[in-house]
Amino acid sequence: MEYKIAVVKGDGIGPEVVEGAIEVLNSIGEKFKHKFIYKEVLAGGSAYDVYGEPLPKETIDVCKSSDSILLGAVGGVKWDRLPSDKRPERAILGLRKELGLYANIRPGILFDPLKDSSPLKAEIIGDGFDICVVRELTGGIYFGERGSRETELGQSAYDIEEYSEMEVRRIAKIAFDFAMKRNKKVTSVDKSNVLESSRLWRRVVEQVSKDYPEIELNHLYVDNAAMQVIRDPKQFDVILTTNLFGDILSDEISVLTGSIGMLPSASLGEGGKGLFEPIHGSAPDIAGQGKANPIATILSAAMMLRYSFNLRKEADCIEAAVNRALKEGYRTSDIARNAENPISTKEMTEIIKGFI
């Protein structure tokens, strides 16, 4: 089989980790007789430097014509002073909107070999945890009306949080469908004691739950949820939440797994096409030094195989190779303890490839 993949390497460490993921994908292609065809395009700060825009039309067109998209991180201090519509991060928001990618899937899994890297106590971790955050991705405050105005207190700025029934219903269905394949529990996170948008959110989620009688549904306010993932992460299976709350909670959960450099993500819409990226940032302070952890991007490629291409055995193969590398003690600097000798981005990639 042939699969067309749009490649957006991005900024900072993005090119390094994406190149690692491509090498692993090529090894999978050789083993399972698939052909991956890559088309590289620019987005983020690197695109602004060339086109004066963070998301050129060419990039949108290539992404739309591809079977899926592999993305590195974007952004960096170099572009921090740009107007908001020119900032690198607008490229990611634009791609999600242009491609109709409304569901962000962020697994928070504590690999057994990394239990010592988690900031949580051993008695809290227990046998580990496996949380799936399902985050609404194209609505809410990031896409709502925004602006600034003069007030009697001086310059004022505002961003509006808004959700429609349709937006909540479709993301809720995604969460319940994922839960049906897992432990059949959904925790919906909102702030319905304060926000009108959250009251609608809760009402629609409860309506959708009636179509899934096997699923246990419970609700948490976002502040309580932030505490509960620290106090007892094992209580969670699927967390369903809004764009803003999901952005924050998934990053919090990532730290509990030992490193933000370990976790992948998938942004999905209708028809199977998706955008797959690590949840970490561009880390410009270590760019080009070979210190970046490629595992999150490699696992993002595994998610691409599973969710966009329905290549489950191939995805399992990548995940097993990553787990073996960790079990055998290989560590990049972000997950290495003081007594360990960290290996480089390239070395970790080669080791994972060797286990495929």
Spatial distance between the Cα atoms of 347 and 352, rounded to a whole number of angstroms: 9
Spatial distance between the Cα atoms of 338 and 334, rounded to a whole number of angstroms: 11
Longest CA–CA separation in the chain, Å: 67
Determine which one of 3, 48, 102, 142 is catalytic: 142
Determine which one of 49, 67, 130, 251 is catalytic: 251
Spatial distance between the Cα atoms of 187 and 52, rounded to a whole number of angstroms: 42
Determine which one of 163, 190, 191, 273 is catalytic: 191
Q: What burial letters (b/e) apply to 219-242, b meaning 16+ CB within 10 Å?
A: bbbbeebbebbeeebeebbbbbbb
Q: What burial letters (b/e) apply to 186-198, b meaning 16+ CB within 10 Å?
A: bbbbbbbeeeebb
Whether 130 is catalytic is: no
Whether 190 is catalytic is: no
Spatial distance between the Cα atoms of 93 and 343, rounded to a whole number of angstroms: 33
Determine which one of 80, 211, 223, 285 is catalytic: 223
Determine which one of 11, 190, 237, 247 is catalytic: 247
Whether 247 is catalytic is: yes
Spatial distance between the Cα atoms of 201 and 314, rounded to a whole number of angstroms: 37
Spatial distance between the Cα atoms of 356 and 88, rounded to a whole number of angstroms: 34
| Catalytic residue list | 142, 191, 223, 247, 251
